[in-house]
Amino acid sequence: MAKQFGIIFGCLGLGELLALIPGLNIPGSIWGMLLLCLILERGWVRPASIAPICRFLISNMAFFFIPPGVALMLYFDLIAAEWVPITVATVVSILLVLIVTGRLHQYLHRRFRHNPNKHRHGQHQ
């Protein structure tokens, strides 16, 4: 347990240091994620040894962001004033992201055919 938390928080701590680099606005936690991936890839830590803690943290992520969500109570006026741009921008943007990402991947995937396992299209209809 101590080792697992040590690794996660060690990556986070190093990440927070990297986040201090001026001009690169990357949150420390993102650096930490990349560092964790790096040490796993290098084989310095066995994936199985940190899997339980990672699974625990990831599966409970929703719980950890309740407090920032509750802070919403401070901004009800702002949302009431700007709900139209918020809603329209959000819905249109989701539609665009889904279609652009999906179509482009579909196109590139067929074009380069670098997937050795054949798989069928159209399974989610």
Which residues, 61 to 80, sit near another protein by CB under 8 A? Answer: 61-75, 78-79
In which region does residue 51 sit, left (phi positive, over 0), alpha (psi from -120 to 50) or beta (all else)?
alpha
Residue 91: CB minimum distance to another protein, A: 6
Q: How far apart are alpha carbons 24 and 123 in whole angstroms? A: 41
Query: Considering only residues 33-62, where is the footprint of another protein by CB under 8 A?
Result: 33-37, 40-41, 47, 50-51, 53-54, 57-58, 60-62
Residue 7: CB minimum distance to another protein, A: 9
End-to-end C-alpha distance for the chain, whole angstroms: 44
Show the site string, 81-120: x = touches another protein by CB under 8 A, - = not.
Answer: -x-xxx-xxxxxxxxxxxxxxxxxxx-xx--x-xx---xx
Look up residue 49 and give its two tokens.
Answer: 């040894």
